[in-house]
Structure 1
Amino acid sequence: MIREFGAGVRTLLRGFGLWRTRPGLMALGLIPAVIAFLLLAAALIPLLLSLGGITEWITPFAAGWTEPWRSILRGAVGIIVFIAALALAASVFSALALTIGDPFYERIWRAVETDLGGEPPADGGGFWTALGEGLRLVLLGLLIAVLVLLIGLIPIVGGVLGAVGGVVFTGRLLARELTGRAFDARNLTPLDRAALFAGSRARVLGFGVATQLCFLIPLGAVFAMPAAVAGSTMLARTMLDRATTLPSGPRPSASGPVSGPGIPSTGPA
């Protein structure tokens, strides 16, 4: 399991490798990422500035507490609220970037698919598909944020569990969503996708957690997004190569091994 998790992390690193081999193509992915980042920052900065008032509203029962207990409680609640907001922000950022930048990320996806061997079987969706999946991503991200907030309220260990849970839950969600274009292009059913994810849980989680941690770095999401799109395509192809059959029938061909010209390789996974 640890080896598979590490293989997922290395898949994201291979995606970053395209900054060296395909810098012009990857730079295109910065445009929607910057726009999404600026829109998200416009919401997060006011939240951060008003965090004190929000924590007071959540904890009115602590108004009569003596110091330092009141400040400790409200400080901890403020941290939990911000962690939950970051969990939601990752989903919103990805949804915005993928929807705004659908033509840009399609070019990255198609180039990686071609380098891995053969033309992709379809166009992988389009704007309306990206919009629908983006809305679903935001709704699921909202559910994760609420869950992280509830976990964070557990006495003593809540803050740590909430932070770890936020990274794990959001990372898994991002990995599943980012591989969507490759699976849409092959017309895989939800049952087919569930079978693929079931066979590579640790690898998918490793890729998703690494992506989410990059997103938490200031401006990291901007530079990581094109790499995540490229890496998720490699991840999807690996999952297809490893599958022997899908519940609905024979697996679609991945059109070659997960390596190729312009695709940095870290060696056997």
Structure 2
Amino acid sequence: MGEVIKGLRLLADGQRWVLRHRRDWRFGMIPALITLVGYVVALVALVLWAGDLVDWATPFADHWASGWADAFRVLLTVVLFGGGLLVAVISFTAVTLLVGQPFYEALAERVERAEGGCPEPPGRPLWRELWIAARDSVRVLLRVAAFGIVLFAAGFVPVVGQTVVPALGFCVSGFFFTLELGAVAFQRRDVPLTTQLRLLRHRLPLVLGFGVPLIVVFLVPLVAVVLMPGAVAGATLLVRELLPPEPGPASEPAERDSGDPGAPGTGTGTRGNGPGGTGTGANGSGGA
């Protein structure tokens, strides 16, 4: 139970961090706002043209009595819009993470530098970084799909399918959501995906305490817009909990709160000899 509470605390610490660095908070909301505007435009277009789309897709209803045909098409229109809204809610977070990758990389780096002991990136060429990110995304997607198939099948089991399976679904979603949010900090430490999964499984209560509440609140896209920057900051702090910097000058915070709540989290303190930069500290052990 203590690990679960610690995960919740890290989630709260991430939100507090961005509130203390409001410029970074506003910066981190940009991808979520972009995604939200895109979804709003798509849903408005769906409202405007859903009727025409249903008419086009149901030519067989032209020969029905006018009352039955109209009722049937109105029902299909409502179902179509409801389905689009459901897809938007479910996919909002994933799309925001995809759109916001460069933003969240910068935000995670600012958190690391503000907290001290920020590891330097591996120094691979951009095409290599993109290849690793794409490969890891596919591997994670396959794992999520496998869990989804098992949970879907288990959902048909009486009682268990209506009680245990939804709870397990939230736990699985929270685990992989935490993995996605922490991917930037893990990649900066050059930690391969298999090691990332092992580290998260080893501290599973901590990870679920962080990820499950996020999954629940992120079902509301407007809430996700506000909380996403803090979620990225909190996931970065969680990775630092799993792979703490070595004690020493490089681990001292690069920036303390200066009393300006709008100050960005970009310190100018020590940075060159962190454990991730030498590959002998958290980076070296995490990538083993």
Name the TM-score class by shorter chain: 0.5 to 0.7
Q: State how far apart, in whole Å, the 2-side matches of 1:109 and 1:212 are.
A: 20
Pairing 1:220–2:215 present: no
* 3-state SS, counterpart of residue 184 of structure 2: helix
Out of 182, 185, 189, which is 2:188 matched to?
Answer: 185
Partner of 2:235: 232
Sequence identity percentage:
30
1:165, 1:260 → 2: CA distance?
40
When Rg is computed on C-alpha atoms for both structures, the one with the higher figure is 2
Deviation at 1:19, TM superposition (A): 3.4
Cα 1:259–1:204 shift into 2, 3 Å: farther
Alpha-carbon distance, 1:118 to partner: 3.3
> Structure 1 208/258 Cα, relative in aligned 2: closer, same or farther at 3 Å?
farther
Q: In structure 1, what is the Cα distance between the partners aligned to 2:35 and 2:133?
A: 14
- Change in CA separation of 1:134 and 1:34 when aligned onto 2, cut-off 3 Å: farther
**2-side partners of 1:22 and 1:237: how far apart?**
19
Supply the distance in 1 between the matched residues of 2:257 and 2:143 (Cα, whole angstroms). Answer: 34
User: How well do the aligned residues superpose, as a CA RMSD in angstroms?
Assistant: 3.7
1:256 to 251, 256, 272: 251
Q: 1:95–1:133: 8 Å Cα contact kept in structure 2? A: no
Within-5 A mapping of 1:47-66: none
* 1:261 partner amino acid: R
Aligned pair count reads: 215
Other-structure match for 2:95? 96
Structure 1 partner of 2:104: 105
Matches within 5 A, 1:147-226: 147-226=150-229
Instruction: Tell me by how many angstroms 1:175 deviates.
Output: 1.1
CA gap of 1:143–1:153, structure 2 versus 1, over 3 A, is same
TM-score normalised over the length of structure 2: 0.61
Do structure 1's residue 27 and structure 2's residue 4 form an aligned pair?
no
* 1:115–1:262 Cα contact (<8 Å) kept: no
TM-score (norm 1): 0.65
Amino acid at match of 2:120: P
The alpha-carbon deviation at position 230 of structure 1 amounts to 0.5
Query: Any unmatched runs of 5+ in structure 2?
Result: 51-78, 262-288
1:224-269 alpha-carbon deviations (Å, 9 max, x no partner): 221111001000001112xxxxxxxxxx7485379973599xxxxx
CA distance in 1, matches of 2:149, 2:95: 20
1:149 alignment partner, SS class: helix
Query: C-alpha separation between the residues in 2 aligned to 1:89 and 1:217?
Result: 7
Q: For residue 33 of structure 2, what is the amino acid of its counterpart? A: V
- Determine helix, strand or coil for the equivalent of 2:157: coil
Residue identity opposite 2:34 in structure 1: I
Q: Any conservation in 2 of the 1:11–1:231 contact (CA below 8 Å)?
A: yes
Secondary structure in 2 matching 1:216:
coil
**Structure 2 residue identity aligned to 1:13:** A
Amino acid at match of 2:6: A
**2:18–2:233 contact (8 Å) kept in structure 1:** no
* Corresponding residue number in structure 2 for 1:7: 6
1:101-121 Cα shifts (integer Å, max 9, x gaps):
122111210110001103331
Give how far 1:15 is off. 0.9
Deviates further, 219-228 or 140-149: 140-149
Residue of structure 1 in register with 2:272 after alignment: none
